[in-house]
């Protein structure tokens, strides 16, 4: 674990807390590794019966640190090497055996939304705001979300979130089935913690078997691999270079000139 991912085990629940509030909890490679390691630890440790993911600060996560994306797009060898082998969090989510509960407040961006599709119980604050701005950055969805999100909420809604970056508030996320419930922000952590403890109190073998029967790790991993190849190509593209420049300059991107 790093200082940006806090870990605590109590009552059979492993709590992983995203802790980089000064940077809007933007996720770095080390933070992905910390989260992935925690999820893998839970699968291997029979005393851990549930994982709870939450965040400190005003938001859940701003998604991937855009500085990392910019470095890869610019051809930084160190940044490119860091991305070799894929995203450790996504790989851990694909093979996870222990139930995962998420508590989401404030903004959840990109992977902050797609990771929720791998959680077994999701609770959001009523005023939470979920966005998936992959295409805004000339990228594509990841975490097998191009398969899982349409399955969950339908093609039209998923396409709107991915391509038009439609923002979804907490109450809508619950009504669409992305979350189990939307609750007042002040009650969020207690609600999620109670759910995690309730899961941890159930028969562990039966719980893990039920989770396993409800998902297809092979299909999830295959979709992640397909997405990953396209994501990597786009990340190094002229389209993403223009999208990142536009973001930094606070202007609309002009893709008409890309490749001209």
CB atoms near residue 204 (< 10 Å): 18
Residues 55-85 have pLDDT tens digits of 999 999 999 988 888 888 888 877 766 666 6
Q: Where are the domains of the chain?
A: 5-186+203-211
Residues 182-224 have pLDDT tens digits of 999 999 999 999 999 999 999 999 999 999 999 999 999 999 9
Q: At residue 16, what are phi and psi to the nearest 5 degrees?
A: -110, 120
Give the SS3 label for residue 156: helix
Average per-residue pLDDT in the chain? Answer: 95
Structure tokens at 29: 């490679």
| Cα 55 from Cα 19, distance rounded (Å) | 6
> What does the pLDDT read at residue 89?
97
What percentage of residues in the chain have a pLDDT greater than 70? Answer: 96
Residues 92-145 have pLDDT tens digits of 999 999 999 999 999 999 999 999 999 999 999 999 999 999 999 999 999 999
Residues 12-62 have pLDDT tens digits of 999 999 999 999 999 999 999 999 999 999 999 999 999 999 999 999 999
Cβ–Cβ < 8 Å for 17, 6: yes
> What does the pLDDT read at residue 55?
98
| Cα 89 from Cα 210, distance rounded (Å) | 22
Tell me the CATH class for 5-186+203-211: alpha beta
């Amino acid at each position: 674990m790093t200082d940006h991912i806090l870990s605590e085990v109590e009552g059979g629940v492993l709590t992983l807390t995203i802790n980089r509030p000064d940077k809007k909890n933007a996720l770095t490679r080390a933070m992905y590794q910390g989260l992935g390691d925690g999820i893998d630890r839970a699968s291997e440790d029979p005393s851990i019966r549930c994982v709870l993911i939450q965040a400190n600060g005003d938001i859940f996560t701003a998604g991937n640190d855009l500085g990392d994306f910019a470095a890869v797009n610019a051809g930084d060898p160190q940044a490119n090497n860091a991305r070799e082998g894929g995203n450790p969090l996504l790989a851990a989510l694909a093979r996870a055996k222990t139930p995962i509960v998420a508590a989401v407040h404030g903004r959840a961006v990109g992977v902050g939304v797609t990771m929720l599709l791998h959680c077994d119980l999701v609770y959001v604050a009523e005023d939470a705001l979920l966005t998936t701005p992959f295409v805004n950055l000339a990228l594509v969805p990841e975490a097998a979300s191009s398969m899982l999100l349409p399955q969950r909420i339908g093609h039209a809604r998923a396409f709107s979130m991915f391509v038009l970056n439609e923002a979804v508030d907490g109450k809508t996320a619950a009504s669409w089935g992305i979350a189990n419930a939307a609750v007042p922000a002040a009650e969020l952590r207690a609600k999620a913690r109670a759910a995690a403890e309730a899961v941890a109190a159930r028969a562990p073998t039966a719980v893990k078997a039920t989770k396993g029967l409800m998902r297809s790790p092979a299909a999830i991993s295959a979709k992640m691999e397909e997405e990953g190849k396209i994501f990597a190509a786009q990340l190094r593209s002229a389209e993403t270079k223009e999208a990142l420049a536009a973001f930094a300059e606070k202007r609309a991107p002009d893709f008409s000139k890309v490749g001209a």
